[in-house]
Amino acid sequence: MEVFCGKKSDEVLDYLLKRRSANAQDLHAPGPNDEELERILAAASRVPDHGKLVPWYFIVFHGVWSEQVGTKLAEIYKAENPQASEERVQLETTRFSRSPVVVAVISRMRRGNKPMWEQILSAGAACQTLSLAAHASGFGASWITEWYGYHPEFKAYLDLDERDHVAGFIHIGKPGAVPEDRPRPPLDTIFTNWREGAALHKGDAQFDQDKFGFPETGFDVSGLNKTK
């Protein structure tokens, strides 16, 4: 197999510069067939991975099993929201079956000596590569997590354990409408040419304080550097 590194491709670059997620509510049949899906997953499994830990795996939802999962989701939602409207419960029922294929990318912590943070990053890379590969195969893709990506009962139903986290549910199908673009961060707010003493453009003024009123410091991120 020929391996690419540093091969010029204006098409790929142009695509990356114009990439947009599809709308998860607007992805229709046909989804990728088995062969296409296998290629999409193979692309996702080539992401950088410090320590070769393979700290992720994929669960594919399609057909009747997407409906089955939706039934479970609606059951959990209804139990926690007894006042929920029929319409809302119906929405929960169709969360997975509304797209022809959904791939859950699960971040799984391995025991090696590499920081958890790096293992999580690798799972994020798998999500994005999977989405890009789906696009390059002629489909739209949408990376979501929603409330159920964090719900203990739903995670247990899927057979996830304490080492597993939902990095994303990637919905794949033929997009109805191509969504309008959205504003992207001005590059000069998020990059700095390094020199000693330079004030780094960290985007704080635009993306912390103005938007959310966050202080500049005060996050506890210490846990992410732990190796185990």
Ligand X SMILES: Cc1cc2nc3c(=O)[nH]c(=O)nc-3n(C[C@H](O)[C@H](O)[C@H](O)COP(=O)(O)O)c2cc1C
Total of residues contacting ligand X (CB under 6 A): 9
- Dihedral angle computed from the Cα positions of residues 77, 82, 86 and 88, in that order, rounded to the nearest 10 degrees: -40
Which tokens go with 30?
């046909």
> Between 182 and 201, how does the x/- string for binding to ligand X read (CB under 6 A)?
x-------------------
Smallest gap from residue 124 Cβ to ligand X (A): 7
In this complex, which beta carbon is closest to ligand X, that of residue 19 or of residue 228?
Answer: 19
Write down the least CB distance from residue 194 to ligand X, Å: 27
C-beta of 34: minimal distance to ligand X in Å? 25
Q: Cβ–Cβ contacts within 10 Å for residue 37, how many?
A: 21
Alpha helix locations (H) across 94-146? 116-136
Rounded Cα distance between 108 and 144, Å, is 18
Q: How far apart are CA 152 and CA 168, in angstroms?
A: 15
Our CB check for ligand X shows the closer of 21 and 206 to be 21
The helix (run of H) or strand (run of E) holding residue 193 is none
x/- contact string, 18-47, with ligand X (CB under 6 A)?
Answer: --xx--------------------------
Q: Could you tell me if 171 and 95 are in contact, meaning their C-beta atoms sit under 8 angstroms apart?
A: no
**Interacting positions 119-158 with ligand X (CB under 6 A):** 142-146
- Closest CB to ligand X among 119 and 142? 142
- List, in sequence order, every residue forming a beta bridge with 107; answer none if it has no partner: 56, 165
- Quote the least distance from Cβ 166 to ligand X, whole Å: 9
Q: One-letter amino acid identity for 28?
A: H
Phi-psi bin for 54: left (phi > 0), alpha (psi -120 to 50), beta?
Answer: left
Residues 198 to 227 in contact with ligand X, rule: CB under 6 A: none
CB 144 → ligand X: shortest distance, Å? 4
Least distance between ligand X and beta carbon 221 (Å)? 17
Residues that bind ligand X (CB under 6 A): 20-21, 142-146, 168, 182
